[in-house]
Every structure is written in structure tokens, then in C-alpha cells.
Structure 1
Amino acid sequence: MGEPAVEPVPGAPAATLDLGDERALAVADYHAGIEVGLRYERGVELDSNAEKRRRRLLSLLDRTGADRVVVLGDLVHRIAEPDDADAEEVRELLAALDARSVPLTLATGNHDGGVADVFPDRIELLPSEGARVGSIGLVHGHTWPNAEALSASTLCMGHEHPSVRLTDEVGGSRVERAWLRGPLRREPFLDALGDDADELAWNDPELVVFPAFNDRSGGTWINVEGESFLAPFLPEALASGEAYLTDGTRLGPYREV
């Protein structure tokens, strides 16, 4: 048997993807320049982690030997056109990838509206509704995926930043980022696709929801009562998914963690 189409990197919020003729390192929600955003949005003053984020990604690239980097949306934090800190962080990341001759593909997220204008030639942009590369669908997750992305055997997305709060026997708690994986239900997408629903090639895909790469970006609490999901098709489209920690620990059905 060959490698799985999507293989999480142990201990990291990242996975390798089998794209057919390439092997990619995939992450979601990089949020370059987040510290500036937190300052304006919440009044939180934090030193920049830009260099640390870049080193982490490059270390994973070297560790996996991937041919390409795929970001599943929200490469930058600023929703408007990238400026100052976020643009500079992306420039330095791209320069480091150029030095390794590694291209970057971005599944356009809700924070990436200005990326095409600032980096018109260096980043391969996929539409916000997603795309299929080989047997894998790539989408950020803030909009309904298109029929092309849904025709894949595995659909990868970000946007949700899934997290769990774990408590121990003495009442202590910790927060962990998590993966969500499970069969994707077809029914929620039929109305959203409209006329395209009749042409939907359905290959019983697995949905893989990536944890956020940026550890300062918050997340959706999958095991906190009353917490709502961000993606318009969740949780309905993932009725029987399971949660995993980044170290590979299986937590069981994600709605029961």
C-alpha cells in the first residue's frame, strides 16, 4: 500500500498530502502579522512571533522533504490588503521558500482578499470555493465548497481552528489544538450547490479539518456546550467525525470529547 493521502506530521499542526505528482506540506491558518491585529482588535501587546513561525514551517518542510507548501487559507491575519508587518512576514517566508525552490499554494481564505494584489506572481491562488488537486480537495472552509472540491476522495480545510479543553482528575485543565476527521455527509451540500448538485461526483470523501498553525489565533471549542462552528456546513456535514490531538492521541467522537 502507498502512503495515505493525508498524513499528519506527528507532534505538529501540519500534514503531508499526496497530490499525485507532488508531495506537499500542508498547514492552515498561518495568520502572518497576527500580533498587529491583536493590538488593534483587543488591545493585547505581544512581541512578534514571525521568525518563530517561519522557522517552524521551514523545519517541517525539511523534516518531510515536501515539494510544495499548501496553506489552507488565512496566510495573513489582516482582512484588508496585507500591509506592514503581515506583508513583510510573508515576503520573508516566500524568500526562504524561494531559496529552497519550493512553491506555495494558497486556498484563499476570508483573510486573504488582498494577497493577490500584493503577491501577484509568487503565490498560486486557489478560489475561495476550493479546488481539487489529484484526489484531494483543498478549501479554507469559510464558504461552501464547489463541486470540484467535493468530488475528491479527501477534503482538507482550515478556518475552524478546532481546540479541546482537557481536564484531569484533580480539576486542572489545558487547551490543545485538535484534528477532526470523518466521513463527509453529502446532504448538506445539495441545496448549496443549486444546479451544480446534479453534476456532483461523490466519492464518499473523508473530511480533514486542520488545527491552526498559528498558536495565537484562538479556535472553536469542539467540546464546550453551546459553542458554534464557523464553517457554514459544520457540524451537519461531519456527523460522525473523531478528534485527535497533534501527538496522534485519539479522543473519540468529537461531539462527545
Structure 2
Amino acid sequence: MDLQPVPGVPALLADGYMVITDLHIGVESGLRSKGFHLTSRTGEMFDAIIAAAGDSVSRLIVIGDVKDSVPGSTKQEYREIPVFFDMLLEHFDRIDVVRGNHDTNIEEFLPGRVDLRPASGLRLDEVGLVHGHTWPSEAVMACDTLVMGHSHPSVMFRDGVGRQTSEPCWLRGRFREADDSRYAKLPDSFIVVPAFNRMLGGSPVNVLDEPLLGPVLTSPYVDLDGSDVYLLDGVCLGKRSDLMIEGRDKSRWKNRTDR
């Protein structure tokens, strides 16, 4: 099955369906409690989903972290999530939500027509779909390609004077043969999908000593160094192993006496 990112958008297209992850609806409430005055971007995310889907997509699959607050839920989440999915159901014949680690009590928010899937994942033909914070089921791991979220992958750039910027990215790689595998069969390849909500921070995939998130990506089953890093516009930056940089050394700041 052909899996292709939507150019410029953190969304993955397959045969008649589209995959997104990490909406984190309600993140603005948490930031407001820390003194940041932000308006909700939920409407913008809705518009972006509809534009990315176009006319050829009839099924939407959200692989985890619909909501942001954990534990508990915010007024913003109670107010926005049901309306958000009601509006999406006007455009898609079917919507699946794979439970993520932030999706506590998500069933209270979702319209009845939305299919809630367990954290162990969903398999469609030879594609496995999982949030990524827990081990997938045996059936999901028997797929050809495992698609995950959770890590909010980004690539970090550092210039000659130490200024850092980061961009969301896709990570595509392969599984290794593992004699001690907990699974009877491993997928051939994996794809890590960037977070759909642009307000979220990213986990840099190319910084030494900063591991990615989740049991699969931190296991010996995946060849992370040999994986390819892509920007949202489709530019391939190369192998992860060739892009690695050291984390910022903060020790020189710790010892300063003029702070």
C-alpha cells in the first residue's frame, strides 16, 4: 500500500484514508495557566484537516492524543472536542481514534459515530496504526509498515554561533531482525508522523543523548541511525546518523558568577 505525506502538512495519505496525530486540543488552556495569552487554534486545525483531505478521502484516522490535559480535562476540551468531531463527521464517512497517552476519558468527548480504538493499535491491511506510547498488539506488529505518533519528531539546526532552530519532520526507517523479539513477526518499516498541532514542541530526532519516545523507538528492533529524515515540504535531509549534533552544553552557564 502506498503511504504518502501531504506536501507541507503533517498528514499521511493512503487508499481512501488520511492519518494524523497529536492534535492536543486544549493545549492553550495549559499555556494560559502559565501566563501565555493564546486564542484557540482548534478551528485552524479543522480547516487544515479538510484542506489536506480534499475530495478523495472518506476516512480519517487520528492516532492518539486528541486532547491535551492529563490527568483530568479542561473546560476548553469539553467545549471544543465534541463540536470539532461533529464538524469532521460532516466531511468524512468514518473517523477512527486510536487512544493516546493523553486521551484519558476521551470516550466522554467523542460522538457515537467515532470508532475508538485501543492503545494497542489498529491494523488496516498491511499498515499498523498506533500512537506509540505503548507496545502494539501482536496483530498490529504483524503488518508491513508501522505508523506512529507520540514523539512529535523535529530536526534541530544549529548555526556557527550556536543559534538553534527546529522544524517538524517525518522519520522513515526499517526494523531489524531480532532473535529475542517479543513478537512472532516484526514490520518491515516504520513511519513517525509529526504532530498536527503546530503549537507543540518537538522531540529532536538528531540530538545526541535525547532518545525518542515510546517503547518501539527505544527498542533494539528499529534501525534509527539508518532512518531517513524528511521536512514537511518533502525535502529529504538524509540519514539520521549523518545529521546528529551534540546537545547544547550548559555547563559554562552553571559556573558563571555574573548571572
TM band (smaller chain):
0.7 to 0.9
1:89 aligns to what? 80
1:20-62 per-position Cα deviation (integer Å, ceiling 9, x unaligned): xxx111111011111012233x443322111111111111122
1:14 partner letter: A
Q: Pick from 42, 45, 48 the counterpart of residue 50 of structure 1.
A: 42
In structure 2, the residue corresponding to 1:187 is in which secondary structure?
coil
Paired residue for 2:13, among 16, 39, 43? 16
The answer on whether the counterparts of 1:162 and 1:178 sit within 8 Å (CA) in structure 2 is yes
Alignment of 1:68-147 (within 5 A): 68-119=59-110, 121-147=112-138
State the Cα distance separating 1:127 from its structure 2 match. Answer: 1.1
2:93 and 2:153 map into 1 onto residues whose CA distance is 28
Q: C-alpha separation between the residues in 2 aligned to 1:81 and 1:138? A: 25
Normalized per residue, the structure richer in helix is: 1
- The question of whether the paired residues in 1 share the 8 Å contact of 2:17 and 2:61 is answered with yes
d(CA) in 1 for partners of 2:180 and 2:117? 20
**If you compute each CA radius of gyration, which structure gives the higher value, 1 or 2?**
2
Residue 179, structure 1, aligned to residue 176, structure 2: no
Query: Do the aligned residues in 1 keep the contact of 2:46 with 2:88 (CA within 8 Å)?
Result: no
CA contact (8 A) 2:65 2:101 kept: yes
Pairwise CA distance, 1:105: 0.7
Q: Is contact 2:82-2:109 (8 Å) kept?
A: no
SS at structure 1 position matched to 2:89: helix
SS in structure 1 at match of 2:14:
strand
The within-5 A match list for 1:157-176 is 157-167=148-158, 173-176=164-167
Q: Is the 8 A contact 1:5 1:154 kept in 2?
A: no
The 1-side partners of 2:5 and 2:199 are apart by 21
Q: CA RMSD in A?
A: 2.2
Unaligned runs of 5+ in 2: 244-259
Report whether the alignment pairs 1:32 with 2:25: yes
Q: Secondary structure in 2 aligned to 1:90?
A: helix
Normalising by structure 1, what TM-score?
0.85
Shift in Å, 1:174 = 3.0
Q: Is the alpha carbon distance of 1:90 and 1:57 closer, same or farther for their aligned partners in structure 2, counting shifts above 3 Å?
A: same
Alignment correspondent of 1:253 = 239
Post-superposition Cα deviations, 1:177-226, rounded to whole Å, max 9, x if no partner, equal 00000112353982xx4xxx3xx244x42100001111111121112222
SS at structure 1 position matched to 2:242: coil
Structure 2: distance between partners of 1:37 and 1:189: 42
Give the AA of the match of 1:216. Answer: M
Aligned residues: 240
Partner of 2:145: 154
Rounded to whole Å, the distance in 2 between the matches of 1:146 and 1:220 is 25
1:107 Cα deviation from its structure 2 partner = 1.2
Identity across aligned pairs (percent)?
A: 33
Report the CA distance shift for 1:183/1:173 in structure 2 as closer, same or farther (over 3 A): same
Give me the TM-score of the superposition, normalised by structure 2. Answer: 0.84
CA distance in 2, matches of 1:188, 1:255: 24
Q: Which amino acid aligns with 1:229?
A: L
Q: Which deviates more, 209-218 or 122-131?
A: 122-131
> SS state of the match for residue 176, structure 2?
coil
Which residue identity is paired with 1:255?
Answer: S
